[in-house]
Amino acid sequence: MKIFLDTADIDEIRRAAEAGLIDGVTTNPSLMAKVGGDRDPTELFLDICETVDGPVSAEVIAIDAEGMIEQGGRLAKIHDNIVIKVPLTEAGLRACRSLSNDGIRVNVTLCFSPTQAHLAAKAGAAYISPFIGRIEDISGDGMELISQIRMIYDNYDIETEILAASIRHPQHMVQALLIGADCGTLPPKVLYQLLKHPLTDRGLDGFLADWKSLGRDL
Ligand code: G3P
């Protein structure tokens, strides 16, 4: 499964990319706002694209199809890694069709139902982003949505990649891996939670203590 980092924080992106832990980055307007307005968004997207060797989702902020197509076309020119993120609205799907006809990869975001995911694929989406955590925020079953989309896409040989989004904790990741989501996007905190295990820490402490008892250097 491809792992994307869900952040616009360039230091976090560099940290994960240098360790070879991530295959790409996803951003959204809220994540852009979190890193503050000091940086020009175009420069920040370019910086991210030069830091990670993989798809970098940049989201449009227009709500009409024409505006999304215009913004998406401009964003796509920043770097070959850019993937245009559009919301799952009728206008978003129109923009998705137009941008993908022009050879621009589109990530359709804010997906909350299997029928939405099916229509996004029809509109030529390269990625569909179902939001697991936000469904659970309103007592729904986010993983069931991922399973249903997996089944639908497999039934009809749909190539759109399932990008499990709004991943909030390691169990979301385990479930998405087991279901067979193509990609998962997660915040830096969750990425590092995935590698932590108390037995690893305890085992390492024991190894180091035993080595120390040797009284030798390596
Ligand atoms: O990038 C979109 C998605 O991952 C947002 O997650 O935690 O804000 O629901 P969250």
What spacing in Å lies between the alpha carbon of 131 and ligand 1's midpoint?
7
**The pLDDT of residue 37:** 81
**The pLDDT of residue 112:** 98
- Give, for all 218 residues of the chain, the pLDDT tens digit: 999 999 999 999 999 999 999 999 999 999 999 998 888 999 999 999 999 999 999 999 999 999 999 999 999 999 999 999 999 999 999 999 999 999 999 999 999 999 999 999 999 999 999 999 999 999 999 999 999 999 999 999 999 999 999 999 999 999 999 999 999 999 999 999 999 999 999 999 999 999 999 999 99
Q: Is the CB of 107 under 6 A from ligand 1?
A: no
Instruction: Please state which CATH class domain 2-214 belongs to.
Output: alpha beta
At position 202, the amino acid (one-letter code) is R
Start-to-end CA span in the chain (Å): 37
Closest CA to 28 of 43, 17, 14, 41: 41
What spacing in Å lies between the alpha carbon of 124 and ligand 1's midpoint?
22
| Best residue among 9, 32, 185 to mutate for probing ligand 1, ranked by most atoms within 8 Å of CB | 185
- Ligand 1 atom at minimal distance to the Cα of residue 28: 1
CA distance 80 to 131: 26
Q: What share of the chain is helix, strand, coil (3-state, %, to 5)?
A: 50, 15, 30
- For residue 82, give the H/E element and its range: strand 82-87
pLDDT (tens digit per residue) in 113-143 = 999 999 999 999 999 999 999 999 999 999 9
**The pLDDT of residue 36:** 81
Q: Is the CB of 57 under 6 A from ligand 1?
A: no
- pTM for the model stands at 0.96
